[in-house]
Structure 1
Amino acid sequence: MPVLLGIVALLLAGCASIPDSGDVELVKASPRGESQVRVYAVPPRAKAEPDEIVDGFLEAMTSEDPDFAMARKYLTKQASKTWRPEDSTTVLRSAPDPTAPQGPAASEPGLRYPLSGERIAYVDAAHAYQPVTPVAYDGSIHLVQQKDADGAEWRIDSLPQGLVLGDSDFQRSYRSVNKYYFASGQDWLVADPVYIRKRIDPTTRMDSVTQAIKVLLDGPTGWLDPVVDSVFPAGTQLEKGVRSLEFDDRNALKVPLNDKAAKAGRTQCRKMAAQLLFTLRDLTSTRVERVELMADGSSLCLLNGDQAQEFAPDRATGSPDNPYFVDEAGKLTRLETGGESVARTPVIGPFGDGTAKLGSVAVSRDEKRAAGVDQNARSLFVSSIVADGDPGDPVVTSTGTRAEDRLSAPSWDGHGDLWIADRNPAKPRLLRLPGGKGAPREVAVDGIGNARIQAVRVSADGVRVALLLTDNGRTTLQIGRVERHAGGGSEVSVVALKSAAPQLEAVTAVSWAGPSRLVVVGKEQGGVQQVRYIQTDGSTSAASVLPGLNQVTAIAAADDDRQPLVADSEDAGIVRLPSGANWQTMVEAGSSPVYPG
């Protein structure tokens, strides 16, 4: 009995973070690295002091209480009506810290508590994460004394709209999920990352599966919307009242939709199912075997995992990708990394026999051709790597004075187009070669200003491009949207640049590492070089930082996350990072490690 009373007393003193299982234990808010910790809110005690009201409300915002009912008890009735926690989430580096209250003023009776913190991100009503360069947060909470039958109680009558959370609370409560839409005019899918609640959404009371389906049916995020399409008929939503869905013992899921979905034909329905199946794969630790779409109690169509692969964003060939690199003699060489030892095999043709000595390369996604830049970074060649031949004339030539002011490493997109940047300060250009063999066409980059492109990496889906931009001695990572015009895609532009890693001020290498993830080499101001994963929306976590590696000049990742990362380190040579292990040297001398793409 004394133990129980002690627990109750602790709960009454404030909100407690309680694990789902094990011994009851009081912990502070914002626990780090404890994914099983859940926060349960409690109402304010009678005659609570203003400080208690503010602290209790900030803690209650981190809970999963239905519709934030307990958090609303700290508000006046009018403030509770107008507060919409589902509208947005402001993410601070650490939990918001209320400072000493400002006393009542003639124009504003009551107490105002400024909230201090460092804002690092914002999540909008469409669940899209938007990182920002860290900046001081300037929100505040205002309290008044509200009279009731028992006297006067302090309550909050003015507060920031939405939620305000520290990053660790945000990471504990939310998870990143890719929802999928079709690239405009194409039959392959594009990942659109959003954040949903890990467990039950306090506002909708939906579990994570139904949340993911709902945000998919709501349509793409604003940034991606111009270049993707959803094939669901307009107005399609989950059947009314559906808040929870479960996979059966064969890992299949029936998805009940409203009558709008019944308008879809068979072919359209299969594509709808593909959008759902790829979206749901992020939510389960095991393979999603089948999705069946239902409307008005009848089956519309079903699609299994193997059938869905025809819509895969990486256009998978069915065989695992192997990395390539340029050896010490300038030859393009394939690495076989399946076992303990590493086999080296020069490719067939002029890139493998030494006829064309290379400095940087890109291998096409079908592994039949490669694009190579010579060792002076002056000329770009395209050649077969499965048949002998002559490298031919260069398809692009730079007139830059120094090697670092000439051609970047090339990159292939999912359309089979080849991209490269000419870094010549006198005439900087981003170029695209249609089909990898057409005449180079300059690609306009909207919003680039005076920055110069140092590196270019195009996604497998062909609708996003990662650019390293240098401006005033600072190299940053930007993601651009690739828009294709004039029907046949003869005109292409890159628009809507957004910072993907505002916390990094010196980015030296980047590679796509799946449908919505990048692996980046860079450092924060005053920090040391890091290798880390970053989502294309700019979100990251402590777990995304990879084992340390010194002097990394290049990084490569496969679309298949089961393949190891490969890097070029001035200290260790060409290295790989197998799952659960540390970096291992594969080749002591070489450069430009790449996977197809």
Structure 2
Amino acid sequence: MGADREGGARHRPARAVAYAACGVVLLAGCASMPDSGDLRGVESTPRQDTQVRVFAMPPREDAPAAEIVQGFLEALTSDDPHYETARKYLTADAAAKWRPEWSTTVLEDGPGSEAARSGGREETHDASYTLTGTRVATVDAQQSYTPATGSYSQSVHLVLDKKTKQWRIDGLPPGVVMGQSDFQRNYTSVDKYYLASNTTTGAGTQPAAVADPVYIRRMVDPMTQMVRSLLNGPTRWLGPVVRSSFPSGSALAKGVSSLTPDDRNALTVPLNAKAAGVGSAQCAEMAAQVLFTLQNLAPALQEVELRAGGSQLCSEDVGEAESLAARGSAQEADSFYFLDGEHRLVRIGVQNSGTQPAPVPGPLGEGDKALRSVAVSRDEKTAAGVGIDGKSLYVGSMVSGSSLGDPVLTSAGKTENDRLTTPSWDARGDLWVADRATGKQRLLLLEQARGEPLEVRTPGLDGRIEAVRVAADGVRIALVVAKNGKGSLYVGRIERDEKTGKRPAVSVQELRSLTPASEEVAAMSWSGDSRLVVVGQEQGGVQQMRYVQVDGSTPEVPAPAALTGVNEIAASEDDEVPLVAYSADGIVRLPAGAQWQKVFAKGTGPVYPG
């Protein structure tokens, strides 16, 4: 656990023994614990191969209080499914009351500790220690990750058992606490999927599938963990805009402890009586939710069968699931788009390795209207463009010979930078754009890209919107918000209050910051069902490109190859297609496994559909 240790803590002998044949690591830190002196930081176990299991050692006989605390903290970082070894460091009463699943607190380094005693000698019958550190994040009882800052300080109290004469912990912080590298070794982020409450895609027949990222313990039967998490319902932040097809109270059947696919890559999920009696259409959606949720853990999984009361409810394969609900990551874009040297809309096929763009049919590609930014609808049939002066928003068909017509929106901003942002299409075919006019700054929604725009309420927004990107699921929106000359990235939840015969009231709720306070964001784009790619720069640093999850965590994927002078970035929710950027070299792209390639020297404004 060398990465996560308190500054200034002395080095201790190696504390792990690896059994390679069995794939086991035993945490044996207590073997070298001194009998006296201050308790130091808990060093973090080096990252192990994903097949290596880590188990903690129980307390040794007559271990001093400091060693008991140290051993307990190390036991928290093991792969013990129910923390049975960690409970051995507690009194019987404390072990019964302790709820490790309630929360996980992640510290920058392993928790340091100071002994709270006087006179330099350990107390005869009780002892106290204060755990300290710098917070990085918390994972709550719903397994939802939230970035955190500030100091951490919690007390641990021990007593000397009168009968056994052994030190045990009788007072401890809630949940689990560990250092950042231990968290990265122990936990992994996985998307579970629900269905958008009021968003359909295409012609309005498919509900949108919405990814809800949670953190689970990677070596503790992750497949079963994810199914249980799915059945428990969406996380609090996402809950207001999604639904689950599972009936309330659905759970795994009594006695089911583990789920494993068979040799046909099919998984049977036995459910309790709450799920019995569902109709075929509802059951199909339930199976689709399970398939979508487990595909990140088991890409080869092909089929899910749901059962209850000893009978089959339904069975769905991957193809059937994809026809029931639309996931952004499963939608394949035909082309990426940008503006050529004449400020006309052009495109290059995603599978085309060439660098010669083709004009887009229709008035925005074939007409004489010069544009500064564009957005292409998700069905690639319609395009929206902002005029070269940033004042007017136009919508046109991508059919040769069609006419453009009057602008659908006009800004009153006095300068180009105080007018319209690049627009963005959602899954319903609605168009979003921000008007930055001084004194009239607002986020606007044009239903079906026409008519009088709706002003979208943005409670909690502090600053001016500089960029807008709506997720493929239609229920989340990413915004770059400028304040005091610095742009920051936020993600909000799109809520619609739709009443029969009236226009909907639309709002963006509970904006989450996805960037550190010191980072200035220059560009961003959705790059997966729950992930964005961000171009930013730390204060005093150089421009960098990275991925970030919608919960603020960093995904376990390599950052894109370095590229200088990036002004705009475009990505698809389908991570099989290349990133595209507008940089100092014009339009460039990053195919998988390759370096950045020049595409078009005079191009600007790259976008994928959306």
Fold shared per TM-score above 0.5: yes
Select the residue among 96, 107, 114 that pairs with 1:81.
96
Query: 1:417 matched to which residue of 2?
Result: 430
CA-CA distance at 1:385 after TM superposition? 1.6
CA-CA distance at 1:123 after TM superposition? 0.7
Counterpart code for 1:553: N
- Aligned partners of 1:103 and 1:111 also within 8 Å: no
- Aligned partners of 2:334 and 2:349 also within 8 Å: no
- Aligned partners of 2:189 and 2:555 also within 8 Å: no
Query: 2:460 matched to which residue of 1?
Result: 447
Select the residue among 574, 577, 588 that pairs with 2:590.
577
Q: Does 1:18 align with 2:46?
A: no
User: Does 426-435 or 37-46 show the bigger shift?
Assistant: 37-46
Select the residue among 112, 115, 139 that pairs with 2:131.
115
Q: Does 1:342 align with 2:358?
A: no
2:50 is paired with a residue whose SS is: coil
- Aligned partners of 2:328 and 2:574 also within 8 Å: no
Distance change (3 Å), C-alpha of 1:407 and 1:104: farther
Query: 2:40 matched to which residue of 1?
Result: none
CA-CA distance at 1:544 after TM superposition? 4.2
- Aligned partners of 1:568 and 1:593 also within 8 Å: yes
Counterpart code for 1:103: S
- Aligned partners of 1:15 and 1:56 also within 8 Å: no
Please show how residues 14-413 of structure 1 align to structure 2 within 5 Å: 16=16, 18=18, 21=21, 29-32=44-47, 34-99=49-114, 101-103=116-118, 110-132=126-148, 134-149=149-164, 151=165, 153-185=166-198, 186=200, 187-200=207-220, 207-286=221-300, 288-314=301-327, 319-413=332-426
Distance change (3 Å), C-alpha of 1:198 and 1:516: same
Please show how residues 464-479 of structure 1 align to structure 2 within 5 Å: 464-479=476-491
- Aligned partners of 2:333 and 2:608 also within 8 Å: no
Query: 2:499 matched to which residue of 1?
Result: 487
Residues 5-47 of structure 1: per-residue CA shift (max 9 Å, x gap): xxxxxxx988526365489889963324743443221122223
Aligned partners of 2:606, 2:568: CA distance in 1, in Å? Answer: 7
Aligned partners of 2:127, 2:596: CA distance in 1, in Å? Answer: 56
Residues 382-408 of structure 1: per-residue CA shift (max 9 Å, x gap): 111223233221111122222222111
Distance change (3 Å), C-alpha of 1:312 and 1:525: farther
Select the residue among 482, 488, 497 that pairs with 2:511.
497
- Aligned partners of 1:364 and 1:412 also within 8 Å: yes
Query: 2:526 matched to which residue of 1?
Result: 512
Q: TM-score under structure 1 normalisation?
A: 0.90
- Aligned partners of 2:90 and 2:170 also within 8 Å: yes
CA-CA distance at 1:196 after TM superposition? 1.4
Give unmatched runs, 5+ long, in structure 2: 1-11, 28-42, 201-206
2:292 is paired with a residue whose SS is: helix
Counterpart code for 1:369: T
Distance change (3 Å), C-alpha of 1:316 and 1:583: closer
Distance change (3 Å), C-alpha of 1:386 and 1:93: farther
- Aligned partners of 1:144 and 1:155 also within 8 Å: yes
CA-CA distance at 1:452 after TM superposition? 1.2
Counterpart code for 2:509: V
User: Does 337-346 or 506-515 show the bigger shift?
Assistant: 337-346
Aligned partners of 1:573, 1:20: CA distance in 2, in Å? Answer: 51
Query: 2:39 matched to which residue of 1?
Result: none
Aligned partners of 2:126, 2:364: CA distance in 1, in Å? Answer: 76
Residues 540-566 of structure 1: per-residue CA shift (max 9 Å, x gap): 146442221112111111121110111
Distance change (3 Å), C-alpha of 1:108 and 1:324: farther
- Aligned partners of 2:436 and 2:464 also within 8 Å: yes
Aligned partners of 2:26, 2:279: CA distance in 1, in Å? Answer: 55
Give unmatched runs, 5+ long, in structure 1: 1-11, 201-206
Counterpart code for 1:281: Q
- Aligned partners of 2:23 and 2:53 also within 8 Å: no
Aligned partners of 1:51, 1:315: CA distance in 2, in Å? Answer: 52
Counterpart code for 1:464: R
Aligned partners of 2:276, 2:104: CA distance in 1, in Å? Answer: 35
Residues 348-401 of structure 1: per-residue CA shift (max 9 Å, x gap): 122112511111111000101111111221111111122323322111112222
Query: 2:204 matched to which residue of 1?
Result: none
Residues 156-179 of structure 1: per-residue CA shift (max 9 Å, x gap): 222211011212211211111111
Count of residue pairs brought into register by the alignment: 574
- Aligned partners of 2:545 and 2:559 also within 8 Å: yes
User: Does 391-400 or 23-32 show the bigger shift?
Assistant: 23-32
Counterpart code for 2:387: D
Residues 137-192 of structure 1: per-residue CA shift (max 9 Å, x gap): 2223233333333x3x3332222110112122112111111111111144222111
Q: TM-score under structure 2 normalisation?
A: 0.88
